[in-house]
Structure 1
């Protein structure tokens, strides 16, 4: 377990004041390894909050470069980042916030065995991607490696959040919620548009769930949180595990 020196005790003092986290939880955070898939709208607040919270080892993955249209919502980047890789740009901002952690940028699109290996090397995965195919690939890797997954999505004025954990026999996986062979698809912000603070809301909620889980606070599984930014409404839907799911069900 990581030890906290005087500087760390001061930096993380507001966490330590929380009885649910305390010194033991902050030590868990410093010893934790989290994988962030995507350094865009959702990945930006996730990366910045996990870095500032003291998650000790962070890997951020994105093969894209920063464009002017990204700056409307992707707050890990700025005008000086234009044309640079998103993973490297986000990593610099994360280390500027907290130089005491380790940040590893990966400028690639993970797939297949490479994705599975990276997932298995971490304690938690945060899916901050913007497409249905990537979410299913990440979900399959998390189920196979038995690594918890915090999934977020945001488009137009609507956002969603869910936490999945294969260690819990009752927890569904992403495929239970959105079958790959179904019609439930989505598209990137470039197609439909997105309200800029919406990705901050959902990304921040992803960071909340990640910090809780890594600090030892039990997450609420089997729920899909939906946010309607146009009306300002939150609602939750219970999501049972599908026994016939080809990814996490008994047949799988």
Structure 2
């Protein structure tokens, strides 16, 4: 049950006709795993913590570098050399003391992900390499957990919500032959505001999934061209021949 302090803190959300105390209590009870605390993971965690998600697990094996400060908005110069997950947890604790923060300073793979996903309600993929995305997607399908995924490069970004259950497609349904956007920020560059936009939208989709308010982007890919500020929404279907969610040994469906 929400305390008086929490009711005051989240007052502007609770005042919304479609978002009541019950919705706030749902996100307060939720555990969320954020994979990658870089340009996307920083705004994702900042808004989820501010909104009142009860427990955030922050996974990243990397340390803060000077080049990160241009876009990874949680970090400061004094954080250089520190593990990103721990530095992010310190900053987020100042944002909202009501949120439980669990930094995970290690790389996640196919062996470690299943145990983690058994204890969370939703996963956000904030990484920038296909192998990790593929492993996270496979683990989410196995666990039956929704996956909010975004990518940002240069001045453009993509966003979708995957599941791999019922008629909801997984990441592999969209990219059966590998990640079409496999270039990384370190190779191609990225404008700071682009990861801010896409990370904020990721947090928005996560709140919809956790609260039951609104319609998440299952089976839809949102593409943003930042140079022209144009949006496109593309529909896609679950692939019955998908090597992940179409495999009965992986999918529960």
Aligned counterparts, 1:150-229, within 5 A? 150-167=148-165, 169-179=166-176, 181-182=177-178, 184-217=180-213, 218-229=215-226
Match of 1:111 in 2: 109
Structure-1 separation of matches of 2:198 and 2:116: 24
Structure-1 separation of matches of 2:16 and 2:54: 19
TM-aligned CA deviation for residue 126 of structure 1 = 0.2
Match of 1:51 in 2: 49
Equivalences, count:
248
Cα pair distance change 1:250/1:61, threshold 3 Å: closer
Q: Is the 8 A contact 2:130 2:178 kept in 1?
A: no
Residue aligned with 1:113, SS: coil
TM-score of the superposed pair, with normalisation by structure 2 = 0.95
TM-aligned CA deviation for residue 19 of structure 1 = 2.2
Match of 2:92 in 1: 94
Q: Is the 8 A contact 1:213 1:219 kept in 2?
A: yes
Q: Is the 8 A contact 1:31 1:55 kept in 2?
A: yes
Q: Is the 8 A contact 1:41 1:75 kept in 2?
A: yes
Spell out, residue by residue over 1:95-131, the C-alpha distance to the aligned partner (whole angstroms, 9 max, x if none): 1100111000001001123111112210000000011
- Determine whether 1:21 maps to 2:15: no
TM-aligned CA deviation for residue 187 of structure 1 = 2.1
TM-aligned CA deviation for residue 78 of structure 1 = 1.1
Spell out, residue by residue over 1:166-222, the C-alpha distance to the aligned partner (whole angstroms, 9 max, x if none): 44x11110000012x347251221100001100000000000000111111241310
Match of 2:145 in 1: 147
Runs of 4+ in 1 over 4 A off after TM superposition: none
Structure-1 separation of matches of 2:99 and 2:129: 29
Stretches of structure 1 lacking an aligned partner (at least 5 in a row) = none
User: Structure 1 residues 213-222 or 87-96, which shifts more?
Assistant: 213-222
Cα pair distance change 1:183/1:45, threshold 3 Å: closer
User: Structure 1 residues 185-194 or 228-237, which shifts more?
Assistant: 185-194
Structure-2 separation of matches of 1:28 and 1:183: 33
TM-aligned CA deviation for residue 251 of structure 1 = 5.1
- Determine whether 1:121 maps to 2:147: no
Match of 2:80 in 1: 82
- Determine whether 1:244 maps to 2:245: no
